[in-house]
Amino acid sequence: MIAIVDYGMGNIRSVEKGFLKIGADAQITSDPKTIEGSAGIVLPGVGAFRDCMANLGKLELIDTLIKEIQKGKPFFGICLGLQLLFSESEEFGKCMGMDIFKGKVIRFDFKDSQKLKIPHMGWNTVRFVNRPPIFEGIPDNSYFYFVHSYHVVPEDKSIIAGVTNYGMDFVPMVWKDNVFATQFHPEKSQELGLKILKNFSSFVDKA
């Protein structure tokens, strides 16, 4: 069973529907014991970094998630679920994250001449730097759906799995061992997004 973590924010139902559509056994939960008993974890999220960390703390899920990741359980972070893996975010003032990966979450900062809108919203390409196994069969420079104003800056460049350009190159996905995370939304990215969910489900089955 794949546990989809519910902490009161984000696109939980659309993520669940995506996994059900590809035939995976997925369950929405905020119960630490259920998460501990799962075969894999998905952490979706849309909203403010500080609020998400606060909600995870109230539900006593932060330590559970960190321990399960450290045990080697397959983990997939989506959008804010990617950002929460990092040390800190500058959104609405400095806020500490789960510190799985060293690095910061910062806001897009464009020159006025670029006239690019924030948030970065819509379809954009992802160029692989280091292809994760859950991206098997996904062509390089494929389009995925983004909605975000902040992006991650990892200290360890080896975890960077891809690059996207929106006025500048930024990191849209990371991967290390059992941990996968994307800034874009696979559940909103049509057939290629569903293929990523299916690949993650297969990775969980083999773990």
DSSP 59-123: TT-HHHHHHHHHTT--EEEETHHHHTTEEEE-TTS-EE---SEEEEEEE----GGG---SSEEEE
Rounded CA separation 42/181 (Å): 9
Among residues 79, 91, 95, 120, the one annotated as catalytic is 79
The size of the chain, in residues, is: 207
Verify whether residue 52 is a known catalytic residue: no
Q: Which of 184, 176, 106 is nearest to 145 (CA)?
A: 184
Identify the H or E element spanning 194. helix 190-206
Verify whether residue 79 is a known catalytic residue: yes
> Would you state the structure tokens that stand for residue 172, as one six-digit string?
């849209």
Q: Which of 71, 3, 9, 12 is nearest to 33 (CA)?
A: 3
Q: Tokens 């109230």 identify what position?
A: 58
Q: Which residues are catalytic?
A: 79, 185, 187
